[in-house]
Amino acid sequence: MLTVQQHSRLGKEILQDCDLAHLTMPQVQSLKQSLWEQGVIVVRKQKLTASQLKDFAIKTFGDTNLGRRPKPFDPEIDPALQSPGVSILGNPKGLTQEVVGKFAWVWHHDKDHLPKTEGLDMNALYVVMLYGVEIPAEGIDGEPHTTNFLDMMEAYQNLERQHRQQLEKQSMYHLSPITPPPGEDIPRKLHPIVSTHKITGRKGLYLGSSTSILQGLEDKPQEAQLYWNDLFATILDCTPVYAHIWQPGDIVFWDNSQVMHTGMPYNANKYKRIALRLGVVNH
């Protein structure tokens, strides 16, 4: 696996010296255009409350509600970090082994949350923004703290032509990665492995996560797991991984129709990490 900190497309910094809480409409349109073109973008040096982040998201992309039940406010966490629909990832209460969001330390698309929302097209443009309020000095490997991304448009192009043609005929079933409450069923939805982006028209791969099941292997879980692992290993072998190095105040946006990502572990007994996460369906 080749990991790079500069990528030809992913990770472009935009809107330097701006305040996302007070963007003009031309700036909003510029941000969205950059996101569709680049797949991953970053705006640095922001100082927003959770409520300001949510207001910005609604102004830019539309409704932020994906059917999630709002959580009650936590009196042990700064109220400025809390707003309905905004998740707090990391260890906001201080040094501890308990990390919120550790399940995201595997490769995945966040669009696998979408089966929880009835009537929503699995090819919908689901954008996630992650705001780094407090950043660990390093990951567990001693390197800078990063979130890693894979360009799935590039991955599609890097595959051999015959392999691309084969994948274009196949689909996978996807489940939400979050376990539902007892007695609640989450529908499983089908998504083509090769899909066409709704705005750019470019083709890319959509793999979900390792729980995805190739259509036709519904009753063969071991074969489905092996198929996913082999396909993902092939992609990793031919596509560089972009590592975004976090700085406090960064807001990273990614288009889940274009990229996979993984959070990277850090020592929560040694460092504090606070990140605000918000997912939106572009309307």
Does the residue 85 lie in any domain? no
- Looking up tokens 């084969």 gives 166
The burial class, CB within 10 Å (0-12 / 13-18 / 19+), for 212 is buried
Does the residue 78 lie in any domain? no
Q: Does position 106 have pLDDT exceeding 80, yes or no?
A: yes
Q: Does position 279 have pLDDT exceeding 80, yes or no?
A: yes
CATH of the domain at 207: 3.60.130.10
Does the residue 270 lie in any domain? no
Tell me how many domains the chain contains. 1
Does the residue 272 lie in any domain? no
Does the residue 81 lie in any domain? no
- pTM for this one? 0.93
Supply the range of the domain harboring residue 53. Answer: 3-67+92-265
Q: Which two tokens stand for residue 202?
A: 């470019």
Does the residue 169 lie in any domain? yes
Torsion of CA 112, 113, 115, 116, to 10 degrees: 160
3-state secondary structure of 277: strand
Does the residue 149 lie in any domain? yes
Least confident range of 31-45, 81-95, 235-249: 81-95
Band (186; pLDDT cuts 50, 70, 90)? low
